[in-house]
Amino acid sequence: MSPWHYPLLFLTGIIAGLVDSMAGGGGIITVPVLLNLGLPVNVALGTNKLQSSFGSVSAAWHYSRQGVVKFNECHLGIVMTLIGATLGAVTVELLNADLLEKIIPWLLGAILLYTIFRPNVGHQDHPPLMRWPWFFTAFGLGLGFYDGFFGPGTGAFWAIAFVAVQGQNFVKATGHTKMMNATSNLASLAVFLLHGSVHLGAGLTMGAGQIIGAKLGSGLVIKRGALFVRPVFLIMVTLTLGRLIYLTLTTP
């Protein structure tokens, strides 16, 4: 890393933290920057987990402080997500992610269409379709594993699960999503650190920016409400989907 890289990384962290705390998808900003600065793929992914952990933990803390999400209401989800993410991060060393690369764009496309054609979804709370213990066990293990193993779109999957399955509005769904994201990020980060696949200087610099961006983004969500989150969510799902399709078409 050259000295001039660090101001760029700090600014990237602010922007990614702002976006990620509102609707997820910050990785589509940070990972290309890290790769373009010359980091190997595994180090770029590990460094991304370090910097995104700062943002997700900071955003989760801000949402919790404002009463959007309460830790004691989702401790089971945190435990299950932790288990799932650890298993996913370990499995990624053993299996090929090619199948997921083909499936995930279709799932993100389905989320995009669902949100577009259900314009009122996420505006107000509705009764949950599953009991919370069952929900947190199933989605915590499943999405935690996915985030540890592959990752892109995890925030969108969590948010739509909280909205469509558990009847939350987009503000509550975003707060709970950040709590789960923070858990899986930290679990995955631990595995990357054990393998030495993290550039600490770059990760900590971006992490400092993430803290600032996460505070700004979570403040906007709480202040503006669900009507503000929905279009941002749609934009980030579309961009994530577009990036995955691009990578699929351009990767030999």
- Interval 155-196: pLDDT, tens: 888 988 999 898 888 888 888 999 999 999 898 889 889 888
SS (H, E, C) the chain: CCCCHHHHHHHHHHHHHHHHHHHCCCHHHHHHHHHHCCCCHHHHHHHHHHHHHHHHHHHHHHHHHCCCCCHHHCHHHHHHHHHHHHHHHHHCCCCCCHHHHHHHHHHHHHHHHHHHHCCCCCCCCCCCCCCHHHHHHHHHHHHHHHHHHCCCCHHHHHHHHHHHCCCCCHHHHHHHHHHHHHHHHHHHHHHHHHCCCCCHHHHHHHHHHHHHHHHHHHHHHHHHCHHHHHHHHHHHHHHHHHHHHHHHHHCC
Q: Is-above-0.85 flag for pTM?
A: no
- Interval 192-244: pLDDT, tens: 898 888 999 999 999 999 999 989 988 888 887 766 777 777 787 788 778 77
